[in-house]
């Protein structure tokens, strides 16, 4: 029995269309099941009047995709009209290779939404699917609190004795979900347990690219777009681009210099860059971005290089500080309050 919806034999089909004919007011195309092999795709392209295809199943000539039939819940919204045939094939093959456990986990992460805003995000998530945990029987805060008490055993119920009757599972679950950054879906509780490994790489001009034949280079990891670019340029001058990268060398630096805090920093690195609370000038073409991670005494500070062309907007280092150190840091500098989009002197 197929794992796809309606017992279908493939994860999705795409209607490949001759763009030239389309612009002339004529719809000429065919439905193609994915994954598709080179020989079959060659026949389709010939029938719809598009030129030959290369060895990577990429057509020469004008074509685009006018529609999809998708048999994987949540996948339709990330598929665009100009997707690469090779990338679609890669996605289909990856889905076909999944066993039932992996596929169920994939559907839950896809439903959660944070890691699937684009096709690139979905492929990245698949490459790193072991970084996630899905608790399929946990659907709310009460379930999560109960799971941690009774299955994980964070407290010894025998020692607690009758006090265990007063445990507020719902409040405990709420606190844990906030701390972990987890989310509830119809397929269970989704949480990212390990640092997310990006599969992007850069070319010599600092543009984000992918290696040929999908051999990924992880020496330079693409993290995200830099938020508040307009504010940064207004205060610190024009920046090279709005991509933020992290090198293996810098990861090693953080692990060596911040031995006790390295794991915490890596877990919250991307969150800090994408949603920082404050930003201040660190000198020498660098800025510091600062984020309070939770209601406890945990604040992450990241140094970003802005004006070095070779480094783009790269992570230089990071540290974890407490609330007292944060107040002292903010009090000595002109600070951009990114939460309220204003400049303040603290």
Q: How confident is the model at residue 98 (pLDDT cuts 50, 70, 90)?
A: very high
pLDDT of residue 71: 96
Q: Are residues 70 and 151 in the same domain?
A: no
Tokens linked to 290: 């600062």
Q: How confident is the model at residue 295 (pLDDT cuts 50, 70, 90)?
A: low
Q: How confident is the model at residue 55 (pLDDT cuts 50, 70, 90)?
A: low
SS3 120: helix
Q: Are residues 141 and 73 in the same domain?
A: no
pLDDT of residue 241: 63
Work out the end-to-end distance of the chain between its first and last CA atoms, rounded to an integer number of angstroms: 63
Q: What is the mean pLDDT of residues 57-77?
A: 83
Residue 205 lies in a domain: no
User: Which of 27-36, 224-233, 248-257, 292-301 tops mean pLDDT?
Assistant: 27-36
- Average pLDDT score, the chain: 80
- DSSP 8-state class, residue 218: -
Q: How confident is the model at residue 272 (pLDDT cuts 50, 70, 90)?
A: confident
Residue 164 lies in a domain: yes
pLDDT of residue 229: 75
The rounded percent of the chain whose pLDDT value lies above 70 is 82
Q: What is the mean pLDDT of residues 52-56?
A: 53
List, in order, residues 6 or more apart from 168 with CB less than 8 Å away. 145
Q: Are residues 228 and 341 in the same domain?
A: yes
Residue with tokens 């992460």: 109
Q: Are residues 286 and 228 in the same domain?
A: yes
Residue 207 lies in a domain: no
* 255-263 long-range Cβ contacts below 8 angstroms, 24+ apart: 257/317, 258/318, 258/319, 258/320, 261/319, 261/320
**Residue range 205-221, pLDDT digits in tens:** 333 333 323 222 345 66
* Alpha-helical regions (H) of the chain: 19-23, 38-48, 85-97, 100-112, 119-127, 141-146, 157-160, 169-180, 229-236, 248-257, 262-274, 323-331
Q: What is the mean pLDDT of residues 183-209?
A: 64
Residue 123 lies in a domain: yes
CA proximity to 104, closest of 134, 130, 69:
134
Q: Are residues 269 and 311 in the same domain?
A: yes
Bridge partner residues of 29 (DSSP): 17
* 221-225 long-range Cβ contacts below 8 angstroms, 24+ apart: 221/197, 221/245, 221/246, 221/247, 221/248, 222/198, 223/198, 223/269, 223/270, 223/273, 223/315, 224/270, 224/273, 224/274
146: CATH: 1.10.10.1190
User: Is pLDDT larger for residue 143 or for residue 333?
Assistant: 143
Q: Which of 97, 114, 134 is the last residue of a domain?
A: 97
Q: Are residues 135 and 58 in the same domain?
A: no
Q: Are residues 234 and 300 in the same domain?
A: yes
Residue 148 lies in a domain: yes
Q: Which of 97, 119, 140 is the last residue of a domain?
A: 97
List, in order, residues 6 or more apart from 319 with CB less than 8 Å away. 258, 261, 265, 300, 301
User: Which of 158-162, 232-236, 322-326 tops mean pLDDT?
Assistant: 322-326
Q: Are residues 230 and 334 in the same domain?
A: yes
160 has pLDDT over 80? no
Q: Are residues 111 and 142 in the same domain?
A: yes
Q: Which of 130, 160, 194 is the last residue of a domain?
A: 194
Q: Are residues 282 and 262 in the same domain?
A: yes
pLDDT of residue 155: 73
Say if residues 190 and 182 touch (Cβ distance below 8 Å): yes
Q: Are residues 224 and 333 in the same domain?
A: yes
11: CATH: 3.10.20.480
Q: Could you give the dihedral angle defined by the CA atoms of residues 90, 6, 137 and 77, in that order, rounded to the nearest 10 degrees? A: 50
Residue 162 lies in a domain: yes
Q: Are residues 270 and 299 in the same domain?
A: yes
pLDDT of residue 202: 36
pLDDT of residue 340: 58
Q: What is the mean pLDDT of residues 70-74?
A: 95
Residue 39 lies in a domain: yes
List, in order, residues 6 or more apart from 174 with CB less than 8 Å away. 141, 145
Q: Could you give the dihedral angle defined by the CA atoms of residues 77, 82, 86 and 87, in that order, rounded to the nearest 10 degrees? A: -30
Task: Please indicate, yes or no, whether the overall pTM of this predicted structure exceeds 0.75.
Answer: no
Report residue 239: phi and psi, to 5°. Answer: -105, 160
pLDDT of residue 227: 77
pLDDT of residue 308: 55
Range of the domain at 52: 5-97
Residue 200 lies in a domain: no
Length of the chain: 346
Say if residues 176 and 106 touch (Cβ distance below 8 Å): no
pLDDT of residue 179: 83
User: Is pLDDT larger for residue 229 or for residue 273?
Assistant: 273
């Amino acid at each position: 029995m197929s794992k796809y919806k309606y017992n279908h034999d493939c994860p999705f089909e795409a209607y490949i269309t001759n763009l030239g004919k389309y612009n002339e007011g004529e719809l000429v195309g065919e439905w193609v099941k994915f994954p598709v092999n080179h020989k079959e795709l060659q026949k389709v392209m010939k029938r719809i009047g598009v030129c030959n295809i290369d060895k990577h199943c990429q057509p020469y000539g004008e074509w685009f995709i006018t529609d999809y039939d998708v048999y994987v819940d949540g996948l339709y919204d990330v598929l665009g009209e100009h997707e690469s045939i090779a990338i679609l094939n890669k996605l289909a093959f990856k889905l076909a290779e999944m066993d039932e456990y992996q596929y169920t986990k994939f559907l839950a992460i896809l439903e959660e939404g944070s890691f699937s805003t684009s096709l690139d995000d979905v492929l990245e998530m698949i490459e790193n699917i072991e970084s996630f945990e899905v608790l399929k029987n946990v659907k709310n805060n009460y379930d999560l609190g109960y799971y941690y008490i009774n299955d994980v055993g964070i407290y010894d119920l025998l020692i607690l004795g009758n006090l265990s009757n007063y445990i507020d599972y719902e409040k405990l679950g709420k606190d844990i979900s906030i701390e972990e950054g987890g989310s509830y879906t119809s397929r269970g509780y989704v949480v990212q347990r390990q640092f997310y490994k990006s599969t992007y790489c850069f070319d010599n001009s600092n543009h984000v690219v992918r290696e040929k034949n999908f051999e990924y280079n992880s020496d330079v990891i693409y993290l995200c777009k830099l938020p508040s670019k307009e504010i940064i340029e207004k205060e610190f001058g024009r920046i090279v681009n709005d991509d933020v990268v992290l090198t293996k060398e810098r990861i090693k630096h953080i692990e060596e210099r911040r031995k006790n805090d390295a794991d915490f920093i890596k877990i919250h690195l991307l969150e800090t860059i994408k949603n920082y609370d404050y930003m201040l000038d660190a000198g020498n073409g660098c800025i510091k971005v600062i984020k309070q991670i939770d209601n406890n005494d945990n604040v992450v500070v990241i140094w970003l290089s802005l004006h070095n062309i070779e480094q783009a907007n790269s992570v230089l280092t990071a540290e974890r500080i407490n609330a007292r150190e944060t107040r002292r840091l903010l009090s000595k500098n002109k600070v951009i309050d990114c939460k309220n989009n204003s400049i303040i002197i603290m």
